[in-house]
Amino acid sequence: MIFQGQEFLEDEWFHDQDPIDSAKKETYGGILNMYGDLIRLRRNWYNNTRGLRGQYVNVHHIKVIPFHRWQNGGPDDDVIVVANFANRSYDSYHIGFPRGGLWKDRVNSDWQGYSPDFGNHLNYDTVSYVGGKDGMGFSGNVGIGPYSVIILSQDA
């Protein structure tokens, strides 16, 4: 859920006498793009993240919280979201996946394309292999920056 003006980084309470500052669309254009990317993933715009519309979720780990979301399961449906609440980055963080194969990086919230202030920590597509972790039958490694989120899914 996005509160009105949040995508423009509005800095005051919403009220009718304070319209959204549309100049912030240029100032924070990258942030606006990030919200658009996240909305398209949530709505399954490209037909490869249906799980973000599903009711199922499996959360695991502590400071880095990866979770698996799905509606019916399978390629174009299962989604892995990894949120890093730590003040450090991880070049290779080992997590569980529900299925083997190539998992594509769909969003990296640390990408400098969203803001030049971001760290642009390396994130990458990953391949998961047999060898369970976190209660799932497969596992693989992801890279993630501090205080950021990555979203991965598979194509059919």
**Which tens digits make up the pLDDT trace of 38-83?**
889 999 999 999 999 999 888 877 789 999 999 999 999 999 999 9
CA–CA dist 99, 153 (Å, integer):
11
Backbone angles phi, psi at 7, to 5 degrees: -70, -15
Which tokens belong to 78?
């299962």
Burial class (CB in 10 A: 0-12, 13-18, 19+), 62: exposed
CA–CA dist 109, 113 (Å, integer):
9
Instruction: Write the class of the CATH domain 48-153.
Output: mainly beta
Which of 18-22, 27-31, 34-38, 126-130 is predicted least confidently? 18-22
Burial class (CB in 10 A: 0-12, 13-18, 19+), 133: middle
Mean pLDDT score of the chain, rounded to an integer? 89
Higher pLDDT, 17 or 50: 50
Among 65, 72, 69, smallest CA distance to 147 is for 65
